[in-house]
Amino acid sequence: MSRATTSDSALARGLSNRHIQMIGLGGAIGTGLFLGSAGVMKLAGPSLLLGYAFAGLIAFLIMRQLGEMLVDEPVSGSLSHFSNKYCSGFLGYLAGWNYTAGYILVGMAELTAVGKYVQFWWPEIPTWACAAFFFVLVNGLNLLAVKIYGETEFWFAVIKVTAVLLMIALGAWLLFGPTPPAGAAVSNLWSHGGFVPNGVGGLLLAMPLIMFAFGGLEFIGFTAGEARDPQRTIPSAINKVLHRIGLFYIGALAVLLALTPWDDLVASLSAGGDPYSASPFVKILDLLGIGAAAHVLNLVVLTAALSVYNGVVYCTVRQLHAMAGQGHAPRRLLKLNRNGIPVNALFVTAAVTALAVLLNWVSPNGTLELLMALVVATTIMNWMLTSYTHLKFRRAKQVAGESTSYKSPLFPLSNYLCIVFIGAIMAIMAFIPSMQLSVWLIPLWLMLIYGTYRKYHASKSGALHFE
């Protein structure tokens, strides 16, 4: 296996503890919460709280599995590295390219969401124009030093966290204050068709969309190669994931659903035929007549989408750089600019993500739903590979008589639970018309990856020759 060892391809460790903490937090708050929850609400009603709670627990377990490997060996492009080392060359190759494809798709989805947020103020501006503008802006920022990326993401995350906390506080004051708005009551959580209004089937159909919300948690894994003290910062960031999910998803959505009947909110969002026409959080403030707050929150959710897009550009570039070092991508992707940024990897990422502008031009109303389905498909494979690779990692450590300092809880039962959950999500997607295509594409994607792997396979050791 060819590895990058020269100084001109080694990433600088320029991310501090506060950067890592906020990058991990920022990846958990984005379009999946602020916009994707609209589709979840339509399917599951108030029972979406159970869905986010259970999916969040699975996400936390998977992050702990990844975290144990990262603390033992802090590298960028982590899953592809560990799959390559503890499973096989093909699975390392698959993990790397699957992460690359998945994060590019997330970037496309976030750019699409940005266009919808801007249309809250200026509906005449097409989504493709907004996507094009912010595409250029964010990729320009990523050409700068990694410390600047860390600072940018830090302040993006501060804005998001502050906004969600203020929204929860405002909602609680509206609910329990001296003059609650008409229709606002905690009983809205169960009085409009029950807590599970569309039955267990509705909740199950919502689970794939819920998974989309947690796809950014792996951002932490890509910071390991540039973290100053990964053995301390990585566990600290991962351990807080469960609290963040409880507060920012369960807390915020519970307040939202109590402020107005969920079915009224869904009807308002779907009035134009598109359930993702606006953020439910912005819409509820608009319906309650708090126009100024709605405008401020819309600015925040716009910032949130840009934050996640900024993060996926960072992660995709580091993934391509790591794969080039492993021999799983062209070595020219190792090239760094004077700021220490893998510049060729950034250009490749930008070139492919630019398709989002074209998609929004061709199909402005259907693009987000399609991209969300494709993102979930790649997330399924990433999570499955993480749990499986962690099983192989622990067994290799046991054989070698070695121990790890940051152990994943309930091993190996938690691994098997995650794998079963992921298999169930895939089965559910096969019954959802808007997601069936993404399930059918999985075997075709695997065949493509295996075909290119075999094409460039140079020896039984698994080394690849990319020029």
Q: Which two tokens stand for residue 446?
A: 């695997």
Give pLDDT tens digits for 337-352. 887 788 899 999 998 8
- The per-residue pLDDT for 27 is 61
Q: Tokens 């659903």 sit at which residue? A: 257
The phi, psi pair for 343, rounded to 5°, reads -70, -40
Return the closest-CA partner of residue 59 out of 91, 17, 27, 35: 27
| Whether the Cβ atoms of residue 193 and residue 343 lie closer than 8 Å to each other | no
Q: Tokens 């502008």 sit at which residue? A: 357
For residues 388 and 391, give the distance between their C-alpha atoms in angstroms, rounded to a whole number.
5
- The per-residue pLDDT for 461 is 47
Q: How confident is the model at residue 466 (pLDDT cuts 50, 70, 90)?
A: very low
First to last CA, the chain: 14
Q: What's the CATH number for 17-455? A: 1.20.1740.10
Is the pLDDT reported for residue 74 higher than 90?
A: no
pTM: 0.83
Q: How confident is the model at residue 216 (pLDDT cuts 50, 70, 90)?
A: low
Which residues, at least 6 apart from 416, have a Cβ–Cβ distance to it below 8 Å? none
Q: How confident is the model at residue 319 (pLDDT cuts 50, 70, 90)?
A: confident
The phi, psi pair for 119, rounded to 5°, reads -70, -15
- The per-residue pLDDT for 221 is 62
Q: Is 10 left (phi over 0), alpha (psi -120 to 50) or beta?
A: beta
Return the closest-CA partner of residue 305 out of 35, 72, 76, 84: 35
Which residues, at least 6 apart from 424, have a Cβ–Cβ distance to it below 8 Å? 207
- Give 3-state DSSP helix, strand, coil % of the chain, rounded to 5: 75, 0, 25
Is the pLDDT reported for residue 4 higher than 50?
A: no
Q: How confident is the model at residue 429 (pLDDT cuts 50, 70, 90)?
A: very high
Give pLDDT tens digits for 391-413. 999 999 999 999 998 999 999 99
| Whether the Cβ atoms of residue 141 and residue 152 lie closer than 8 Å to each other | yes
